[in-house]
Structure 1
Amino acid sequence: MSFQVTVQPSGRQFSCDAGESILTAAIRAGVGLPYGCKNGACSSCKGKLVAGQVEHGPHQERALSAHEQQLGYALFCVAKPQSDVTIEAREVAGVGEIPVRKLPVRVAKLDKVAEDVIVLSLQLPANDRLQYKAGQYVEFLLRDGKRRSYSMATAPHKDEPMSLHIRHLPGGLFTDQVFTTLKERDILRIEGPLGTFFLREDSDKPIVLLASGTGFAPIKAIVEQLEHAGSTRPVTLYWGGRRPQDLYMDALCQQWQRDLPNFKYVPVVSNAQPEDQWSGRSGFVHRAVMEDFPDLSGHQVYACGAPIVVESAQRDFSAQCGLPEDEFYADSFTSEADLAKAVSDSPAS
């Protein structure tokens, strides 16, 4: 059995199998619904249920509250139709242009750039390139059907192994492997490209890039893409970490600031210790943006990193700095702990 999904205001339609989420069916059909985690831990795919019935799977309360459900909102990554449905969602242009593929990759290099961060470089099969947009991610296909998501840290035009930034989460199924047993020439399997967080190149608005921790990875790809395209748009990068050593590619960002005429870099540290001798900006990274840009009404913002950083930026930039809601693009890095919390937080339905 399958159900028909109609998207407003575009009028696009696609079929959704029984027991399948609206988002999964949309990705398969090449319909560009916005999304991030795909697991009910962020709210990127939230939209309005105009007609029909859905059943929600486990998700975090902060991603979709019971009150929002009563108002007719749905979280499409965990919403499974129980009838034909009509939804209201802002479609993302260009998502369906690139096919999602599964393919093997070989570990080319493991470079430990910080105590808890490894840059994992992957070599694709000979004479093959993975098409993607700067900012998107891939999923590693692990045993028992488990998956782990990581953003590409290299722009798609780069003629070099594709790199990902892996932060070690002790006890993590994949990160423990990366930091202990994974070695060069090992074979892994990935699926991608995925996600609707990518550079919009059809605008000339100034750009604010906001990263926390390894959320820097897709931001790096976006900067490389802007440089490759010869963009003249003003770009300001804010990168936040608890300690200075968390800004593990600070030298690269400083180099961009020297080499790129319209680029500015602002490192922000929230928990510097006396031995760090930190003399730069301190506090919450999104607050540094607000201090420098009290009016964001004419900007685009690309934010990536810890959920609390992304959510705070989205809320405060819109409410206090006048950023249009449709000019905030985000990728919230949700861990397995976040996804587990989605199950425990999920309201009964």
Structure 2
Amino acid sequence: MSFNVSVLPSGRSFSANADETLLAAAIRQGIGLPYGCKDGACGSCKCKMLEGTVTHGTHQLKALSAEEEASGFILTCCGVAHSDVVLESRQVTDESAFPIRKMPVRVTSMQRASSEVMVIRLQLPASDMMKYHAGQYVEFLLRDGDRRSYSMANAPHTQTETPGLELHIRHMAGGKFTEHVFGGMKEKEILRIEGPYGSFFLREDSDKPLVLLASGTGFAPIKALIEHMQYKNITRPAVLYWGARRPADLYMHDWMQAKIAEMPHLRYIPVISDALLEDQWIGRTGFVHQAVLEDFSDLSGHQVYACGAPIVVESARDAYSALAGLPVEEFFADAFTTEADKAKAVSA
């Protein structure tokens, strides 16, 4: 049995089987609904259900509260249709409709960018390239069936000169995958990936100024966006706020300094939250999302692209709309939800 799912205001539709989530059905048919973690933890896929019946699997209440559900909001990543459904989602697009593929990859290089971040490069099968949009991510397929998600840190066009993918992996103490990356992983190791996934990419049909917000390794997809903007000669005014605990955690600070010298329309503002005296830091301090509000009292004419820790993304989304007039549909995000975050999911 399958049901018809219509999406307004685009008018696009797709079918959803009775045993699959709405998001899985949309991805299968190339419908670009917004999403992030796919596990009911981040809330990026939340949208309004105008008609129909949907039941939810496990999810976190911060992603969808009981009050929101009572008001007709759903999470497409864990919502299963029990009738024909009409959704309201203003981010439906064909842009993310690249085919999702599984493929083997070989680790070609590993570089410690900081004490907590490893930059790895992956070689794709011979004469192959992955089609994706700057900002999207892939999933590692682990032997036990688990998956781990990481954003591509290089724009797609860079594969022409240097074939392969660049990923920035932060060490998570006790993490099944990151312990291996920082411990036993060696160059030439073979892994399996699947992708591309995600609805985080630059909306090129707009000419609005850009605020790019990154915390930690949330810089990775932002780096890909910046490379893409330079390659496509996109000259919309843009400013990157990159937040980190200590200056050493700005693991590609020199890369950013070089990039702003090449791109006159791009500004860069690093923000440190826990600077110590020995850091001799003389730049901005505090919470990175708050630094944006200190500089922009009015975001009504901007687009914001935010990546990194869920608390940063959520705080920015709420504050920018409530305090600076940012339209909710102009906030695009990829919250880096960890497995520990996902484990906190509760049955609603």
Who is 1:50 aligned against?
50
1:13 to partner: Cα distance:
2.3
User: Structure 2 matches for 1:195-206, cutoff 5 A?
Assistant: 195-206=198-209
Range 254-263 or range 20-29, more displaced: 254-263
Who is 1:269 aligned against?
272
Assess, with a 3 A threshold, how the Cα gap between structure 1 residues 186 and 242 changes in structure 2: closer, same or farther: same
User: Structure 2 matches for 1:144-293, cutoff 5 A?
Assistant: 144-158=144-158, 159-160=161-162, 161-293=164-296
Unmatched 5+ stretches in structure 1? none
SS of corresponding position for 2:307:
strand
SS of corresponding position for 1:107:
strand
Kept after mapping to 1: 8 A contact 2:243/2:270 = yes
- Quick one: distance in 2 between partners of 1:195 and 1:322? 26
What letter corresponds to residue 268 of structure 2 in structure 1? Y
Kept after mapping to 2: 8 A contact 1:137/1:195 = yes
Assess, with a 3 A threshold, how the Cα gap between structure 1 residues 91 and 285 changes in structure 2: closer, same or farther: closer
Who is 2:65 aligned against?
65
Kept after mapping to 1: 8 A contact 2:109/2:120 = yes
Who is 1:304 aligned against?
307
Who is 2:83 aligned against?
83
Compute the TM-score of the two structures, normalised by the length of structure 2.
Answer: 0.96
1:185-218 superposed Cα distances (whole Å, 9 cap, x missing partner)? 1111111111000011122211111000000000
1:246 to partner: Cα distance:
1.0
- Quick one: distance in 1 between partners of 2:299 and 2:86? 33
Who is 2:327 aligned against?
324
RMSD: 1.2
SS of corresponding position for 2:200:
coil
- Quick one: distance in 1 between partners of 2:216 and 2:96? 30
1:17-37 superposed Cα distances (whole Å, 9 cap, x missing partner)? 222110001100111111011
Who is 1:31 aligned against?
31
1:96 to partner: Cα distance:
4.8
1:84 to partner: Cα distance:
2.4
Q: Give the aligned length.
A: 345
Who is 1:334 aligned against?
337
- Quick one: distance in 2 between partners of 1:340 and 1:20? 21
Compute the TM-score of the two structures, normalised by the length of structure 1.
Answer: 0.96
- Quick one: distance in 1 between partners of 2:82 and 2:222? 39
Kept after mapping to 2: 8 A contact 1:92/1:196 = no
- Quick one: distance in 2 between partners of 1:299 and 1:88? 22
1:305-339 superposed Cα distances (whole Å, 9 cap, x missing partner)? 00010011111111111111111111000000110
Assess, with a 3 A threshold, how the Cα gap between structure 1 residues 97 and 336 changes in structure 2: closer, same or farther: closer
What letter corresponds to residue 30 of structure 2 in structure 1? G
SS of corresponding position for 1:233:
coil
- Quick one: distance in 1 between partners of 2:212 and 2:44? 18
